Amino acid sequence: MNADLSLKPLKATLQAYVQHELAGEHPTAADFPKTIARLLTQGYRQSGAALLETQRNQVFKEIYDELVGYGPLQPLLDDPEITEIMVVGARPIYIEKLGEIFETEVRFDSDEHLLRIIERMIHPLGRRVDAESPTVDARLPDGSRINAVIPPVAVDGPLLTIRKFLENRMTTGDLIKLGALTPHMVEFLQACVAARLNILISGGTSSGKTTMLNALSSFIPIKERIITIEDAVELHLQQKHVVRMETRVANVDGQGEMDTRALVRNALRMRPDRIVVGEVRGPEAMDMLQAMNTGHSGSLTTLHANGPRDTISRLETMCMMAALDIPLLAIRRQIAAAINLIVHLTRLEDGARKVTQITEVAGMESDVVTLNDIFKFEKTGISTSGTIQGELKATGIRPLFTPRLEVIGYKLAGEVFGARQPGMWSSERGAGRR
């Protein structure tokens, strides 16, 4: 929370004093925090102010955050329960906490104040944002992803969105506790990863795709060489032989860009056992499909889509963006040959994130890619508390690739596929929130 408005003049005076003294002292990075603390105490005594200890500590902290951290955002970044921070100009800042969005009392003093903090965030990262390039994506040193948009594109003041990096990654066990998966679904997915099936994880924004990708990657054998490709590093693989690559935007001269497509192509020359792409969103989808169809099985990636059928349509569109003049039917055949499984996640109306469909890509019928739901969430209603109720269950269909699972020792019992249905599930069992 920001200091009381009546304390703003004192805060401005102390901050100006500290900045003036720092200019003359030039402390080292190691001594910087101690020097600021000493100068704050010194300046406060000279001001003659007599605040309550809590007020004084709050003023000191806000000045420290302003000079060392990211101003009003710092307490929000320090809160481990906050997963997303959304800023629109000098208005109250919104946060996502435990799956719900809240309006806070925290705000920037002005648009200029917000622009200064944005500049402080991106400058050490070698990124820029200005009238000629009014948008920027970057990753903070702690791994958090930031997106900033400034005027004239942002009409109501600078926009800043921060997706925080969470060190404690969710396991499949955690997802079971939250009701996002069932034990049978986990057993099935573990077998699919071990059998080197190519898996697409689809869903809407903030539905938990990256969390699921992290969880599924834990099933990759520890001895395999894994190449990961991301726009901003979020994956946290535990295997020993992981090679991480990150895209790079062009510099101010328009040089040096390295996009996902170029990195996918390069990964094929690096003797990968698996290629894991954080998200496909463009022509790199075609390169990914060709890699899957030429011996690089067991690949994992995510994409934005509203359902398994929409996932196929999106993939077709992205492949056509590669401008290789390949007929749509040929693209569909490549998709049917390359992709084995789609794991679709949904963020429900109550904020719960869960897997709502696990779908096999079964092949082609005429000119259509055939899909079979193996597991599905069936909504049954809404409780009095507003949480979504429903059942996560198998559909009774065994996938056509079952022999591939059995060859490596995964002979899944009939109950996994619905011979004996699991009990009712309600999002109140954990709300599926991260």
Is there a single domain that holds both residue 130 and residue 272? no
Is the confidence at residue 365, as pLDDT, over 90?
A: yes
Can you spell out the DSSP letters for 120-181? Answer: HHHGGGT---SSSS-EEEEE-TTS-EEEEE-TTTSTTS-EEEEE---SSPPPHHHHHHTTSS
Is there a single domain that holds both residue 226 and residue 370? yes
Closest by CA position to 235, among listed 259, 211, 208 = 211
Is there a single domain that holds both residue 351 and residue 369? yes
Distances (CA, A) of 228 to 25, 277, 278, 340: 45, 6, 7, 20
Q: What is the pLDDT of residues 102-129, one digit of tens each?
A: 999 999 989 999 999 999 999 888 788 8
Q: What is the pLDDT of residues 30-86, one digit of tens each?
A: 788 888 888 888 888 888 888 888 888 888 888 888 888 899 999 999 998 898 999
Distances (CA, A) of 187 to 191, 232, 307, 325, 404: 6, 30, 22, 41, 15
Q: What is the pLDDT of residues 298-330, one digit of tens each?
A: 999 999 999 999 999 999 999 999 888 899 999
Query: Is residue 113 situated within a structural domain?
Result: yes
Is there a single domain that holds both residue 283 and residue 264? yes
Number of domains in the chain: 3
Is there a single domain that holds both residue 23 and residue 112? no
Query: Is residue 309 situated within a structural domain?
Result: yes
Is there a single domain that holds both residue 79 and residue 212? no
Helix, strand or coil, per DSSP, at residue 249:
coil
Strand order in the sheet with 388-394: 242-246, 226-230, 274-277, 300-304, 199-203, 341-347, 353-365, 368-382, 388-394, 425-426
Is there a single domain that holds both residue 148 and residue 293? no
Task: Please tell me the distance from the alpha carbon of residue 50 to that of residue 48, in angstroms, as a whole number.
Answer: 7
Is there a single domain that holds both residue 205 and residue 345? yes
Query: Is residue 37 situated within a structural domain?
Result: yes
Query: Is residue 434 situated within a structural domain?
Result: no
Strand ranges (E), 210-263: 226-230, 242-246
Return the ∠ at Cα 125 (arms to 147 and 28), rounded to 5°.
130
Is there a single domain that holds both residue 60 and residue 157? no
Query: Is residue 59 situated within a structural domain?
Result: yes
Choose the final residue of a domain: 26, 44, 68: 68
Is there a single domain that holds both residue 16 and residue 83? no
Q: Which residue has the tokens 């994130």?
A: 353
Is there a single domain that holds both residue 59 and residue 76? no
User: Omega into 403 within 30° of 0, i.e. cis?
Assistant: no
Task: Please tell me the distance from the alpha carbon of residue 308 to that of residue 370, in angstroms, as a whole number.
Answer: 11
Is the separation of the CB atoms in 383 and 426 below 8 Å?
yes
Is the confidence at residue 274, as pLDDT, over 80?
A: yes
Q: What is the pLDDT of residues 396-411, one digit of tens each?
A: 999 999 999 999 999 9
Domain that holds residue 417: 172-429
φ/ψ of residue 157, rounded to 5: 110, 165
The domain that holds 225 is classified in CATH as: 3.40.50.300
Is there a single domain that holds both residue 12 and residue 156? no
Choose the final residue of a domain: 37, 52, 68: 68
The domain that holds 96 is classified in CATH as: 3.30.450.370
Q: What is the pLDDT of residue 432?
A: 38
Choose the final residue of a domain: 112, 142, 166: 166
Q: What is the pLDDT of residue 68?
A: 82
